[in-house]
Structure 1
Amino acid sequence: MPHVLIIDDEPCVRAVLVEFVKDEGFTVAQAGNIKEAKIQILRQAPDLVLTDLHLPDGNGIDLFPLLQSSNTDVVFITGHASVDSAVEALRLGATDYLVKPVNLQRLGLVLSRIPRLGGVSAWGMSFEEDGRFGKMLGKSAPMRQLYERIRKVAPTDATVLLMGESGTGKELAAQAVHELSPRSKDPFLPVNCGAISPNLIESEFFGHERGSFTGADRQHKGYFERANGGTLFLDEVTEMPIDLQVKLLRVLETGLFMRVGTNKEIASDVRVIAATNRDPEEAVAEGKLREDLFHRLNVFPLELPALRERGDDMLMIANQFLDSLNKEHETHKTFSPETLQAISAHAWPGNVRELKNYVHRVFIMADGDMIKAGLIPLQVSSAKASATSGTHISVPVGVPLADADRRLIFATLEQCGGVKKHAAEVLGISLKTLYNRLEEYAAAGYEPRIANEAARDNA
């Protein structure tokens, strides 16, 4: 999905633009000044930058050198319109120039010119080359089998269910299915089902009409409407409330849904790809996932292998991450043979995500060009193994599932020393989901017992 960066020092202006751009089917990042904008650009290269010309710490034109090596379009939005500034911006490579208050119809035309992904990857290279398939890295036998299955299912409209541990790259696999499908020129919209407030989840999925509830001061298009023609990726689908699962099943079977606050049905042409890091059959047995929805999603299951099952892929991926950091920071750091051996020997319970974080940490810690073993003890990353050994909780028969979940989460968090990121990995849920659960428990008067209180804010 194309990505837009909005830069403006007025929060109200950013809020309006962010909502409009999201409704048009784009992912969005925002910044209030040049410094924040540079951070966002390094995190994810945008396809389009909408920037105010005059910012608190400089001029929007100052960003051009950072964007010259990419195919990013730059459009200036300013209340200080003048012929001279417009000519200068266009001379430097801006594609357009808008004046506040922004005409949203004209902005819609600007967005319509942004190309959608087709036969090339997001960074403009061929979709596949040796050791890379879309944005996925690896050439081990399990990954080659995965690539082949993606090639088979992508051209169809079959619903795909991605299964695998946290950090194995389920969203990247979903993107690959989308990019190889006839829907590749339309939106790819990822949704984390466990990160949405239960009070807003129906509105977020199906949209709402103005005045349908307190605070609904404008019509809102939901995920199914914004992804129309494209692909909707439902991550952590087992975290979706049961009552919404009923409505999702109906959309999948009929292709129709209704916005909150109306009885008018809207047709939806969306391919659904779902993902879970839990065993879906266990989720059905536990009452977390409706059996009929599971069978509707499980048309074409794809299992993503854990990193520990992928042999030399972990060394290739580590070197790829390191190469990217060297290029970004203009350095020439390399792994020592001992470090490579330690990487190969580690189990990587957090999979590719954990490996990426580890490479970033040792890159920062290394003083010279050689990254030596022992800079960051790999045992720190093995919370999953240590936290699950020798610790048990007892749950009497008849205890509600919600109470059992709470006890398990608290016990795991305590065993992990309050480090929420490790606890989330052990539980097989996202960090956002863990935070949401802890906020719900706190509102109900429940708090975990953690010996080191300072660790409670450690993500």
Structure 2
Amino acid sequence: MPRALIVDDDRAFTSAVAGYIELEGFSVATADSLGEAREFLGTTVPDLLLVDLMLPDGNGLELIPELPADSPTRIVVITGHASLDAAIESVRAGRVVDFLIKPIDVGRLRACIQAVSEVQQAFPGAVGSDSIAPSAALAELVGESSVMQDLRRLVVKVAPTDATVLLQGESGTGKDLIARAIHELSPRRDRRYFAINCGAVSPQLIGTELFGHEKGSFTGATRQHRGHFERTSGGTLFLDEITEMPPDLQVQLLRVLETGAIVRIGGDTEIPVDVRLIAATNRDPQQAITEGRLREDLYFRLMVFPVWVPPLRERAGDIARLAHGFLAELNRRHGTSKQFDPAVLAALEACPWPGNVRELRNVVQRAFILADESIDRTHLANVPPARTSPAITPMAGDGALNLVVGTTIEDAERRLLLATLAHYEGDKPRAAEALGISLKTLYNRLKQYGSE
């Protein structure tokens, strides 16, 4: 049974939330002070920690660094005293997955609970154990957009199996992180994980790298060589850019998948191997088949469990979360406390990011180097031009937004708010006035979108 700890000195609130979480199948403990919470954490690592910022004996965020570094705990900050500084402080603390303002949004609380429950169902008894930390393994897959939540659910479902996985998505979307998460959440997690980019290895060498060779099998083969399939036996092998593998080697790979055995180059003995295979491509597989880059029979063999990795432009609200995470990482590494100007986050949200997460990371790092304290729009040189969204497209000349039929209300509101904030160069009072909402509502929306 998953465990939750609620740390809040408002006992009526604590009782109500505890009852709700218990109905979701959790064992719930409560504490009304840091001291009481520390007593609980001294013996138990919870799967879900809900902590108030303002407690009788200090700030609830003080508990975060006291959790084990590899703790799987999902941390949700709750407060009845919303402020911009509090939200920023929570983001800087790291590991916080949500910031809820009282009265809390039950839908967002339910999403946090369900994220823990899904992992618990896929890995009974694993959460909080010494053998595996599922939430920690999933922590690299940053984002609370619906497409990222769906992606994490797929990872949790397929990880415990030995099914072959084919990851499809554009360059820079993080397919390597997903492959690693699948391995870390699998029964093979204590065995070897090896990744090889099929496009980065010479066609003349990739065969011997994967399958090995016998002594004397070709000029220069002065000794026997065990390939990655043999050396990774019992573990997971990740073949990135699978469509760059030469067709003759694709035949050998297909044979390995069908027989569970390899034959070294220059040899004639079948050697059994036990390898979980994950492959990835940034090409359209059907087009790759048409162009002769990918064998159709291998494609169908890899398609046991296909996973589509969404591009960054389709991950509504995740850009600001990722940018904050990259900045926090740089601040920790360099002992600084640089911050984003709000207009910067609006500008980042509006970019198309053809290079996806990798490109965003590079832009944040460059801006970090250029800025002294606050990162503003002058530090965003080389950022791709604002995208023309299929959902909301700027109209020529008048700054209007054109909404295509079928746009969700939530996405339309988010894009309109961020576009208005960008139009007024981060001036929140002016943006709120133009939108006809209170400044408090604007702040709440920005926190909801992860833009504060």
Residue 370 of structure 2 is matched in structure 1 by 365
From the superposition, tell whether residues 182 and 327 of structure 1 become closer, same or farther in structure 2 (CA, over 3 Å). Answer: same
Q: Secondary structure in 2 aligned to 1:200?
A: helix
Counterpart code for 1:372: D
Residue among 244, 255, 263 paired with 2:260: 255
Partners of 2:132 and 2:163 lie apart in 1 by: 27
Give the deviation of 1:287 after TM superposition. 1.2
| 1:185 and 2:193 aligned | no
Residue among 341, 344, 358 paired with 2:346: 341
CA displacement, residues 316-362 of structure 1 (integer Å, 9 cap, x when unaligned): 11010100100000001011111111111111110100000111101
Identical amino acids, percent of aligned pairs: 55
Partners of 2:313 and 2:225 lie apart in 1 by: 43
Following superposition of structure 1 onto structure 2, how do residues 50-449 of structure 1 map, counting pairs within 5 Å?
126-128=133-135, 133-366=138-371, 368-379=372-383, 381=384
CA displacement, residues 236-286 of structure 1 (integer Å, 9 cap, x when unaligned): 001111111011000000011111221111101001111001111111111
Partners of 2:224 and 2:365 lie apart in 1 by: 42
Q: Give the alignment's TM-score, normalised by structure 2.
A: 0.55
Give the deviation of 1:153 after TM superposition. 1.0
Q: Secondary structure in 2 aligned to 1:233?
A: strand
Contact 1:178 1:188 in 2 (8 A): yes
Counterpart code for 1:306: P
Counterpart code for 1:370: S
Counterpart code for 1:150: V
Larger radius of gyration: 2
Partners of 2:158 and 2:368 lie apart in 1 by: 38
Residue 92 of structure 1 is matched in structure 2 by none
Partners of 1:291 and 1:169 lie apart in 2 by: 25
Counterpart code for 1:266: I
Residue 414 of structure 1 is matched in structure 2 by none
Counterpart code for 1:350: G
How big is the alpha-carbon RMSD for the aligned residues of Structure 1 and Structure 2? 2.6
Give the deviation of 1:182 after TM superposition. 1.0
From the superposition, tell whether residues 347 and 243 of structure 1 become closer, same or farther in structure 2 (CA, over 3 Å). Answer: same
Partners of 1:191 and 1:139 lie apart in 2 by: 29
Q: Give the alignment's TM-score, normalised by structure 1.
A: 0.55
Residue 75 of structure 1 is matched in structure 2 by none
From the superposition, tell whether residues 197 and 179 of structure 1 become closer, same or farther in structure 2 (CA, over 3 Å). Answer: same
Partners of 1:254 and 1:125 lie apart in 2 by: 31
Q: Which runs of 5+ in 2 are unaligned?
A: 1-67, 71-124, 389-452
From the superposition, tell whether residues 148 and 213 of structure 1 become closer, same or farther in structure 2 (CA, over 3 Å). Answer: same
Contact 2:168 2:282 in 1 (8 A): yes
Counterpart code for 1:374: T
Partners of 1:187 and 1:120 lie apart in 2 by: 22
Give the deviation of 1:382 after TM superposition. 5.8
Partners of 1:384 and 1:209 lie apart in 2 by: 54
Give the deviation of 1:170 after TM superposition. 0.4
From the superposition, tell whether residues 365 and 125 of structure 1 become closer, same or farther in structure 2 (CA, over 3 Å). Answer: farther
Give the deviation of 1:364 after TM superposition. 0.6
Give the deviation of 1:374 after TM superposition. 2.3
